[in-house]
């Protein structure tokens, strides 16, 4: 049975994509009219209240987006009409002043507190919506970053202590699980891309990004509380990682690296002399390399999550047509979700590997020896 | 749209903890781990190298033992060969000597036999002469018993004598 689905899989992906993309907004309007609330129709913010949407027609696009993007609180489950959420601190910088309060303060019909309004996941000032509020809240993603950082510190410092205590004995437990990965990063990523002589300098960074991305990719697949945040599928996170790679590449670039950018070898002179076409392309290349790193990781992880969530949504979409149809589809969906999750585990590793490998390659290019010429 | 617009707050909260994480891990985790991995690798490498050397040495030792054994065997063989040669030489020499001695003894025996024979012959000759003389004397005494025969014999003898 499973095999038959496997063959159908390529055909069903575009279909799903269509469902995911087309559903979002159209049904929301319909849901409002049947809603028996005291709110006025002008209160558009209420359109996005989960309470209403859940009870009304199911909106797959909105549900997926909510799960994929960052949030000011950590929603764990909805039991009947109660939302089990972890309130997170909201920290705002507005007109030079810091405002800090719990995100649960927004749990009122107007979604406002202290002159700030939470709308579509963004906070702005009530009386002056155009003026920007700098939002430094500890959001779901930030908490997940902090959690995974603490987890990494705990794991790696504890295994480092074991290494320190028994330097030459065989690895044990967690150590033997991670040692092959550490050696893999060292030998197959750093040494082969940067070279024997200079790889050591970049090892701490490469190991940190590898394990940070890998751990967060894996935690992103876990749907329960400490996991489930889409950290590596958040463009700000991947942007920071890519910018770190860019900074390290730039400050470690040797003379040869910059000469190659300004005067690219192996290119006809007329591409350089009257109009400095190649140098411009190369300089753009400095930026596009990390940009591609950023987009690749973000897109891969987010796409994986969207596909899994799409299968989950299928159950509710068919369920809203008829309950038995929902149950029937759920069997298929669960099979696909299991398959996707397995694929995601693979992708978690591959994306961590690719990000680290490409960073290492860029460092290798920046520090290449001139002896070739 | 929110999906692809990086938020400032999140950038801050990603960059700062990540930087702290990087620095802490570098100091407390990666440095000791990488150092100890390297140490372990060098120690394993050294141990393997030492084992190789020991094996080589062992082989050398075994080889030299074999060489020694072979030399000892050769030496034994040489000694045996020499001994055999010496023995053969001694036997040969003794045989030669014995032959010579025998020849000498035979020669001296032959000589003494000759001598004895000669002595015996001489003795026999002497005895024969004596016996002959006695017989002759007896014959003469018997022949010359009467005076006429004596005279006749003397005359006969005197006739034989020729005076110059």
What residue spans define the domains of chain B? 21-156
pLDDT (0 to 100) of residue B128: 86
DSSP letter at A189? I
| Max mean pLDDT range (A122-136, B8-22, B133-147) | B8-22
Inform me whether the C-beta atom of residue A146 falls under 8 Å from chain B C-beta atoms: yes
Residue B109 confidence (pLDDT): 92
Same structural domain, A169 and A102 = no
Cβ atoms A57, A106 nearer than 8 A = no
Comparing CA positions, the residue from A325, A121, A140 lying closest to residue A234 is: A140
A48 touches chain B (CB under 8 A): no
Q: Are residues A315 and A252 part of one domain?
A: yes
Beta carbons within 10 angstroms of residue B13's beta carbon = 24
Number of domains in chain A: 2
Structure tokens at B103: 């020849």
For chain A, say whether B16 makes contact (Cβ under 8 Å): no
pLDDT at A38 over 60: no
**Does the distance separating the beta carbons of B39 and A159 come in below 8 Å?**
no
Among B13, B24, B32, beta carbon nearest to A163: B32
Is residue B125 scored above 70 in pLDDT?
yes
Q: Which residues pair with A266 in a beta bridge?
A: none
Instruction: Give CA torsion, residues A281, A283, A287, A293, to 10 deg.
Output: 60
Closest C-alpha to B34, from A188, A157, A208, A204: A204
Cα–Cα distance for residue pair A360/A202, rounded to 1 Å: 8
pLDDT at residue A288, rounded to an integer: 94
Residue A135 sits at the chain B interface (C-beta within 8 Å): yes
- B28 to chain A: which residues are within 8 Å by CB? 153, 156-157, 160
Residue B68 predicted with pLDDT over 60: yes
Q: Is the pLDDT of residue A290 over 90?
A: yes
Give the ipTM: 0.78
| The pairing of beta strand A89-94 with beta strand A134-135 | antiparallel
CA distance B71 to chain A (A): 46
A98 domain-assigned: yes
From the number of C-beta atoms within 10 Å of its C-beta (0-12, 13-18, 19+), residue A131 rates as exposed
**Confidence class of residue A370 from pLDDT cuts 50, 70 and 90?**
low
* Mean per-residue pLDDT of chain A: 81
| A278 and A204 within one domain | yes
Q: Does one domain contain both A292 and A177?
A: yes
Average pLDDT on A87-98 reads 86
Q: Is B15 exposed, middle or buried (0-12, 13-18, 19+ CB in 10 A)?
A: middle
pLDDT digits (tens, 9 = 90+) for A297-308: 999 999 999 999
Q: Does the pLDDT value for residue A14 go beyond 80?
A: no
- pLDDT surpasses 70 at A78: yes
Two tokens at A345? 């585990």
Burial class (CB in 10 A: 0-12, 13-18, 19+), A324: exposed
User: What is the pLDDT at residue A41?
Assistant: 35
User: From the CA of A31, how many Å to the nearest CA of chain B?
Assistant: 23
Residues A98 and A157 in one domain: no
What are the Cα distances from residue A44, in Å, to A109, A116, A119, A187, B98?
11, 16, 9, 56, 146
Residue A102 lies in a domain: yes
In a domain, A126, yes or no: yes
Examine the pLDDT at A22 and tell me if it is beyond 50: no
Same domain, A160 and A122: no
- Residue B164: pLDDT band (50, 70, 90) is low
Residue A322 is assigned to a structural domain of this protein:
yes
Same domain, A112 and A168: no
Do A149 and A270 belong together in one domain?
yes
**Which H or E element spans position A84?**
strand A82-87
Q: Which residue has the higher pLDDT, B24 or A71?
A: B24
User: Structure tokens of B127?
Assistant: 């005895």
pLDDT at A40 over 50: no
Residues paired with residue A118 on neighbouring β-strands, in sequence order: A123
Confidence tier at A61 by pLDDT (50, 70, 90): confident
Closest CA to A216 of A146, A165, A162, A161: A146
Determine which of A17-31, A84-98, A208-222 has the lowest per-residue pLDDT on average.
A17-31
Q: Which one of A76, A104, A137 terminates a domain?
A: A137
Highest mean pLDDT (candidates A108-117, A183-192, B148-157) = A183-192
- Quote the CA–CA distance of A46 and A166 in Å, as a whole number: 60
User: Does residue B42 have a pLDDT over 80?
Assistant: yes
pLDDT at A139 over 80: yes
**Residue A277 in domain:** yes
Cα A208 from Cα A310, distance rounded (Å): 32
More confident residue, A27 or B95: B95
- A290 part of a folded domain: yes
Compare CB distances from A239 to B11, B25, B40 and report the shortest one's residue.
B11
Can you tell me the distance from the alpha carbon of A267 to that of A261, in angstroms, rounded to the nearest whole number? 12
Are both A124 and A270 inside the same structural domain?
Answer: no
What are the tens digits of pLDDT across the range A326-341? 899 999 999 999 999 9
Residue indicated by tokens 């319909």:
A30
Q: Tell me, rounded to whole angstroms, the distance of Cα A188 from its chain centroid.
A: 25
Q: What is the rounded distance in angstroms from the CA atom of residue B155 to the CA atom of residue B108? A: 55
Segment B26-43 shows an average pLDDT of 90
pLDDT tens digits, one per residue of A144-199: 999 999 999 999 999 999 888 887 778 888 889 999 999 999 999 999 999 888 89
Is residue A127 in some structural domain? yes
Residues 30-69 of B with CB under 8 A from A: 30-37, 39-40, 43-44
pTM as predicted: 0.71
A185 with A356: CB under 8 angstroms? Answer: yes
Same domain, A195 and A277: yes
User: What are A232-284's pLDDT values in tens digits?
Assistant: 999 999 999 999 999 999 999 888 888 888 887 888 888 777 878 888 888 89
Q: What is the pLDDT of residue A356?
A: 96
Residues A118 and A149 in one domain: no
Model confidence band, residue A36 (pLDDT cutoffs 50, 70, 90) = very low
Would you state the pLDDT for residue A358?
Answer: 95
- Structure confidence at residue A19 (pLDDT): 39
**Domain ranges, residue A114:** 89-137
Predicted local distance difference test score (pLDDT) of residue A213? 95
Chain A positions touching B5 (Cβ under 8 A) are 235
**Are A127 and A260 members of one domain?**
no
A151 inside domain:
yes
- Which string of DSSP letters, residue by residue, matches A298-338? HHHHHHHHHHHHHHHHHHHHHHHH-HHHHHHHHHHHHHHHH
């Amino acid at each position: 049975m499973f095999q038959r689905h496997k063959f159908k899989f390529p055909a069903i992906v575009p279909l799903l994509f269509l469902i995911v993309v087309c559903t979002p907004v159209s049904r929301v309007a319909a849901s409002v009219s049947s809603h028996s609330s005291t709110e006025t129709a002008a209160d558009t913010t209420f359109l996005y209240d989960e309470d209403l949407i859940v009870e009304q027609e199911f909106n797959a696009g909105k549900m997926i987006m909510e799960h994929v993007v960052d949030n000011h609180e950590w929603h764990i489950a909805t039991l009947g009409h109660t939302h089990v959420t972890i309130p997170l601190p909201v920290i705002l910088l507005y007109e030079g002043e810091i405002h800090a309060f719990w995100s649960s303060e927004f749990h009122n019909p107007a979604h406002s507190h202290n002159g700030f309004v939470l709308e579509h996941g963004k906070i702005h000032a009530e009386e002056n919506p155009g003026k920007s509020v700098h939002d430094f809240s500890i959001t779901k993603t930030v908490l997940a970053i902090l959690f995974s950082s603490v987890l990494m510190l705990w794991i790696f410092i504890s295994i480092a202590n074991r290494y320190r205590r028994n330097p030459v004995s065989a690895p044990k437990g967690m150590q033997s699980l991670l040692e092959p990965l550490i050696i893999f990063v060292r030998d197959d990523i750093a040494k082969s891309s940067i070279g024997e002589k200079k790889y050591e300098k970049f090892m701490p960074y490469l190991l940190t990004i590898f394990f940070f991305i890998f751990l967060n990719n894996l935690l992103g697949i876990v749907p329960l509380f400490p996991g489930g945040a889409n950290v590596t599928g958040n463009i700000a996170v991947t942007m920071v990682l890519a910018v770190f790679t860019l900074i390290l590449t730039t400050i470690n670039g040797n003379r040869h690296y910059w000469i190659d950018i300004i005067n690219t070898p192996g290119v006809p002179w007329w591409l350089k002399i009257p109009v400095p076409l190649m140098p411009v392309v190369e300089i753009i290349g400095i930026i596009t390399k990390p940009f591609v790193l950023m987009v690749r990781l973000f897109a891969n992880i987010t796409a994986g999550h969207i596909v899994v969530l799409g299968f989950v949504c299928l159950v509710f979409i068919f369920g809203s047509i008829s309950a038995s149809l929902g149950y029937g589809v759920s069997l298929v969906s669960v099979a696909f979700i299991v398959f996707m999750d397995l694929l995601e585990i693979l992708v978690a590793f591959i994306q961590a590997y690719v990000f680290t490998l490409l960073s290492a390659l860029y460092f290798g290019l920046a520090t290449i020896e001139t002896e070739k010429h | 749209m929110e999906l692809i617009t990086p938020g400032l707050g999140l950038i801050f909260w990603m960059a700062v903890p990540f930087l702290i994480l990087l620095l802490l891990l570098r100091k407390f985790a990666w440095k000791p781990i990488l150092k100890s991995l390297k140490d372990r690798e060098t120690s394993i490498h050294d141990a393997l190298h030492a084992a190789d050397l020991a094996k080589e040495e062992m082989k050398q030792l075994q080889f030299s033992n074999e060489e020694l054994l072979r030399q000892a065997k050769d030496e034994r063989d040489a000694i045996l060969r020499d001994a055999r040669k010496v023995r053969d030489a001694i036997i040969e020499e003794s045989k030669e000597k014995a032959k010579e001695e025998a020849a000498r003894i035979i020669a001296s025996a032959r000589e003494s036999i000759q001598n004895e024979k000669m002595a015996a012959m001489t003795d026999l000759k002497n005895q024969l002469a004596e016996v002959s003389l006695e017989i002759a004397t007896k014959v003469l005494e018997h022949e010359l018993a009467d005076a006429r025969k004596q005279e006749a014999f003397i005359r006969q003898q005197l006739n034989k004598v020729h005076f110059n």
